[in-house]
A and B are shown apart, each in its own frame.
Chain A
Amino acid sequence: MSKSNRGDGGRGDKMPEFRPGTWLQGNGPESDIAICTRARLARNLQGFHFSPCLPDDEARELYDFIVQRLKQSGMPEQLHLLDLDNIDDLERTVLVERHLISRELAGSTRARGVATDTEEAVAIMINEEDHLRVQVFASGLQTEAVWRRAERLDDALIQRLPMAWSEEFGFLTSCPTNTGTGLRLSVMLHLPGLVWSDEIEKATNTAQKIHLAVRGLYGEGSRALGDFYQVSNQVTLGRDETQIQSDVFLAVGRIVQWEREVRQALLRGTARSRTLDRIYRALGTLERAQILSSEEALGCLSALRFGIEEDLLPGFTIPNVNRALLLSQPGHLQRFTRERLQPDERDQRRAHLLREVLGCSR
């Protein structure tokens, strides 16, 4: 099927112009350290096989059924539907880098899509590991706000769609790690203080003891690039949504406090000059480098962000650093420059683009 005769079905085929998401503006509570909070609900429908046993034709049927129900009036959010078959791989990568869809959904060959608003606050993935993955985002540490908003959305979905659930196990998901509430609350944290002072492992271990998962936001495996971490609840069964919300809120609050204390220690006494050296070297690199890999860019931007938060770098702003973090990723970089680039070309463009975005090109 060609691209042109696809759109009439009302499936949605154009990338919406996203207004910069609220999390980019960095104006939520504790947003010096907590960049953004996300609530995710895993939901499946009765009468359809779960993803591991879902044949392609049934996936198509399921997709159409969900889309038709989402179009019924009275949804609490203004959503724009995007059929992932109708956009190219670069646009799909952009959505992945904005955390609106998962890498798995982007790479899947089934009928699949995402319903989003234009503020990047809501994104419902269709035909991911579960039939529905409802996501709500907010700037800073706002576990209760994202949960409340996700709950309202869930109410509307439950009215429209026959969810799979049981009294005993709650919402039935394809992976037992999500069974029950299906709720995963995550907070993206910027923790340069804990990383630079080698306390991050201690913090991670403490979080894991109270059943929170900690992983790097960028990069593969255990290695976190640019000191960005994601903390989320591991337990979805046996604790209700309010308990999960307060578990994550309290634990993240403690990590944020810890990070603040460590930062102060890094800026006192003999540690201070080493910390400043690291921040100014990063600034020097961003101002002068001609070739910048995404890995190096993340490290420099992390140091810069630290410097700005501690009032060491007047003239730079957090929204610009956040935007630079987004634009330094391959998909955004290529979309921004409007051409497909080889990896070494990307590194050159990145060096120039970051100067522009950060306002140090004059």
Chain B
Amino acid sequence: MQYCTACQKAIASIVIMDLNGGAVTGSQHLCGPCAEQLGVGQPKAPTKFSAEILEDLLGGLKSSRPATSRPRAEACPGCGMTPTEFRTKGRLGCPRCYDVFRHELMPLLARIHESQSHRGRLPGRTSTAPVVTDEKNLADLRRRLEEAVRGERYEEAARLRDDLRRAERGEGARP
């Protein structure tokens, strides 16, 4: 049994070998999600298609940013940052980048902090009660949005996108 070399959390289910003239020169063990992230999993054409539309929808707020020529499927669906951008800037564009660029972020964190996970305060554990962001509601909205996109119900999707944005800010849905 071997842990995924990218996220170092899940059990690896895929082994990628570097071949050089028939000889194995290196190998990488990956879990399913990470393999997919790195573009080495099984291609799923329909999902990819709707993911692009979803991204366009989510991108409604970032219209003023110039479009990049990078293949969009690799970019963070939350902010459009590409792996190349992340590598050159060393900056994250939104909370979702932490998941999207996980396999590159982990070694970076280890190098900077000699640690890969947080110890200390979190909003849920402060002395006073924080704003309640309903994680379950958020997940539900994200799922419905994805469904609407897949079902090509774009008007509904746009409305759900706005609801999601507001919910993420803890503002609640507007009438």
**9-residue interface stretch from B25-33, B39-47, B107-115:** B107-115
* C-alpha spacing A176/B122, complex, angstroms: 17
Q: Are B122 and A170 in contact, with the CB atoms below 8 A?
A: yes
B92 in complex: contacting residue of A48, A158, A172, A239, CB < 8 Å: A172
* C-alpha spacing A160/B171, complex, angstroms: 11
* C-alpha spacing A151/B128, complex, angstroms: 11
Say yes or no for B84: interface residue by CB 8 A criterion: no
Min C-beta distance of A102 to chain B, whole Å:
16
Closest to B79 in A: A53
Closest to B91 in A: A52
Instruction: Write out, one digit per residue, whether chain A residues 41-54 have a CB within 8 A of any chain B CB (1) or not (0).
Output: 00011111111110
Contacts of B118 in A (CB 8 A): 166-171, 179-181, 237-238
Say yes or no for B130: interface residue by CB 8 A criterion: yes
Say yes or no for B12: interface residue by CB 8 A criterion: no
* C-alpha spacing A171/B168, complex, angstroms: 16
**9-residue interface stretch from A4-12, A55-63, A246-254, A264-272:** A55-63
Q: Are A237 and B91 in contact, with the CB atoms below 8 A?
A: no
* C-alpha spacing A165/B81, complex, angstroms: 19
A162 in complex: contacting residue of B62, B115, B116, B131, CB < 8 Å: B131
Say yes or no for A163: interface residue by CB 8 A criterion: yes
Say yes or no for A241: interface residue by CB 8 A criterion: yes
* C-alpha spacing A174/B98, complex, angstroms: 10
With A55-B64, A58-B61 already in contact, the answer to whether A165 and B123 are too (CB < 8 A) is yes
With A50-B94, A52-B93, A241-B121 already in contact, the answer to whether A45 and B169 are too (CB < 8 A) is yes
Instruction: Write out, one digit per residue, whether chain B residues 117-131 have a CB within 8 A of any chain A CB (1) or not (0).
Output: 111111100111111
Say yes or no for A65: interface residue by CB 8 A criterion: yes
Closest to A173 in B: B92
With A165-B122, A174-B91 already in contact, the answer to whether A155 and B128 are too (CB < 8 A) is yes
Closest to A65 in B: B169
Name A's interface SS: loop
Say yes or no for B65: interface residue by CB 8 A criterion: yes
Q: Are B112 and A234 in contact, with the CB atoms below 8 A?
A: yes
* C-alpha spacing A299/B94, complex, angstroms: 44
Most buried by A among B61, B118, B122: B118
Min C-beta distance of A57 to chain B, whole Å:
6
Closest to B115 in A: A238
Which A167-205 residues have a C-beta within 8 angstroms of B? Answer: 167-177, 179-181, 183
Say yes or no for A161: interface residue by CB 8 A criterion: yes
Q: Are B131 and A49 in contact, with the CB atoms below 8 A?
A: no
B121 in complex: contacting residue of A49, A151, A174, A235, CB < 8 Å: A151
Closest to A168 in B: B117
Contacts of B151 in A (CB 8 A): none
Contacts of B93 in A (CB 8 A): 49-50, 52-53, 174
Min C-beta distance of B141 to chain A, whole Å:
12
A-B contact pairs, 10 of them (CB 8 A): A46-B169, A47-B165, A47-B169, A49-B78, A151-B121, A158-B131, A163-B123, A168-B118, A180-B115, A237-B118
Instruction: Give B residues with C-beta under 8 Å from A.
Output: 61-65, 78-81, 89-95, 97-98, 105, 108-109, 112-123, 126-131, 133, 165-166, 168-170
Instruction: Give A residues with C-beta under 8 Å from B.
Output: 44-53, 55-58, 65, 151, 154-156, 158-177, 179-181, 183, 211, 234-241, 243
